[in-house]
Amino acid sequence: MIQKILNKLQHYAKYGSLINSGNVSYIMISSGSYRTYEKGRIVFLILAEEIPILVVKFYKSSDELLLNEFETQKTIYEKYATGISKPMEILQIEDRKIMIEEFIPGKSIARHFSDDPSKWSIQNIMKQTLDFYHNLNNNVEPSTLDKLENEVNLLVEQFIKLYAPDSKEIAFIQDLVSSFLQNFSSREIYRRFTNGDFIPKNLIINHDKVTMIDYEFAEITHLYFLDWFRFFNYQQFIPNDLVYDLVYFQTEDEFFKTSLREFSSYRINNKFDLSLRLLFEIKNCVMVMNVISHSLYSVEKKRVKKLLSEMYIRLRDLDPAITVKKFE
């Protein structure tokens, strides 16, 4: 299929001159091997003379998923422009729709951390990432507590349907969700777009400019601040304790600090912190369970059950009235 795509693109005027300019090859970025076939997505780079020129995506079975991703990314690009990878167009190649996206030169934050884990480099990269994130927050839209509560309740309902928690787990979840909403009752409520997968490999830095890529899970949400939980949960290239030591006191971003604490040895047993961690894990579980293959489904359920039990013990330590040591 990929070779057919390359052959067809040579006949399009805007791409033919690029593809015919030299030796053409491709590099697979993702084959979606961990996914169900219905949610399987192929992403690859087209290279000319070993220089990347285009990103191409398609889904194994559903054009609708690709069209939704393209339209969402296009909306985000038109709204923010700076720091968002540009979706170029959708093309029909035989019986499959493909998405053409601009290639973003540079290195991912993951690669930067791997190549140069020095203190200066970490501070510099994290400052650029924080600046980029704060620019995104300049585009927040005012909302209401009722709308936030509706989004959270819908998310919890999806989680319950996928994970099927027992009665003790449900009571625990309801307690922390109630605490989360109560905390936000005295705050101003906002929402904005997020790409839904704010992780080091999806943030490209080139000449001090940060660009965010990959919009498969993009959405407009009140829970955009959970992006930092995702970032530090999937940031496994340098110790988060080191990031804490170097960066924690250099920012006033509350959710950055909370998520960094939560995924480091500086974690504290604070009920609001626990409620944020729970919502992140619920959101992450819903995302994962909606795409993974059946063989991995039980693995994810076991992981979540263990995590809920550990969080329950942390809550018990905060509230002496809770006497049960763990979920049975």
Please indicate, yes or no, whether residues 290 and 202 belong to a single structural domain of this protein. Answer: yes
Q: Among 87, 102, 117, give the residue marking a domain's end.
A: 102
Please indicate, yes or no, whether residues 52 and 195 belong to a single structural domain of this protein. Answer: no
Per-residue pLDDT of the chain (328 residues; tens, 9 = 90+): 788 887 788 777 777 777 766 688 889 887 777 888 888 899 999 888 888 889 999 998 889 999 999 999 999 999 987 899 999 999 998 888 999 999 999 999 999 999 999 999 999 999 999 999 999 999 999 999 999 999 999 999 999 999 999 999 999 999 999 999 999 999 999 999 999 999 999 999 998 899 999 999 999 999 999 999 999 999 999 999 999 999 999 999 999 999 999 999 999 889 999 999 999 999 999 999 999 888 899 999 999 999 999 999 998 887 655 544 455 5
Q: Say if CB 60 and CB 291 are below 8 A apart.
A: no
Please indicate, yes or no, whether residues 94 and 122 belong to a single structural domain of this protein. Answer: no
Q: Which helix (H) or strand (E) holds 55?
A: strand 51-59
pLDDT on residue 324: 45
Please indicate, yes or no, whether residues 94 and 139 belong to a single structural domain of this protein. Answer: no
Question: Is position 73 within any domain?
Answer: yes
- Of 90, 86, 6, which is closest to residue 48 (Cα–Cα)? 6
Question: Is position 326 within any domain?
Answer: no
**CATH number for the domain harbouring residue 97:** 3.30.200
Give the Cα separation of 311 and 118 in Å (integer).
Answer: 33
- Count of structural domains within the chain: 2
Q: Among 102, 134, 159, give the residue marking a domain's end.
A: 102
Please indicate, yes or no, whether residues 131 and 84 belong to a single structural domain of this protein. Answer: no
Please indicate, yes or no, whether residues 118 and 53 belong to a single structural domain of this protein. Answer: no
Enclosing domain of residue 18 = 2-102
**CATH number for the domain harbouring residue 129:** 3.90.1200
- Of 304, 251, 125, which is closest to residue 259 (Cα–Cα)? 251
Question: Is position 87 within any domain?
Answer: yes
